[in-house]
Amino acid sequence: MTPILWQRIEGAGIFAAAVVLAGITQSGWPLWVWPVALLAPDLAMLAYLAGPRIGAAIYNAAHLYANGLILALLGLMAGRPDLIAAGGIWLAHVGIDRALGFGLKQPTGFAQTHLGRIGPR
């Protein structure tokens, strides 16, 4: 198996585990909150309005596993299940992105990622 395939499998596993974590810690959220929270990191795409280099830097900063992990750990330390769930949702977003092949962006353009080119070739 290639390293890219391993990263995609890893992303799927992180997605599954993070959804379970978020569901266990915040099952009281209204149903509409889940898809909104899951898609929230993609708001970083708006940074591409400032150009591909800035867009890639901001998008990549919002799509690191570390962000969700840190938020979940802060929630654990503070006894805040809502923060744990938010961190889990953030991890789930990044995981499903990786599983689907949407990797970290290259400064040359949105379609160029560390997992290969996305979209039509």
Higher pLDDT, 4 or 47: 47
- Closest C-alpha among 68, 66, 22, 60 to residue 44: 60
Look up the pTM and report it: 0.91
Each residue's pLDDT tens digit, 57-92:
999 999 999 999 999 999 999 999 999 999 999 999
What's CA 104's distance to the chain center, in Å? 10
| Measured distance CA(111)–CA(56) in Å, rounded | 10
**Most trustworthy range by pLDDT among 17-26, 31-40, 57-66:** 57-66
* 3-state secondary structure at position 108: coil
Q: Round the average pLDDT of the chain to a whole number and report it.
A: 92
Partners of 84 in the beta sheet? none
Domain boundaries, the chain: 3-12+33-117
**pLDDT the model gives residue 28:** 83
Residue 45 CB contacts under 8 Å (≥ 6 apart), including other chains: 55, 59, 110
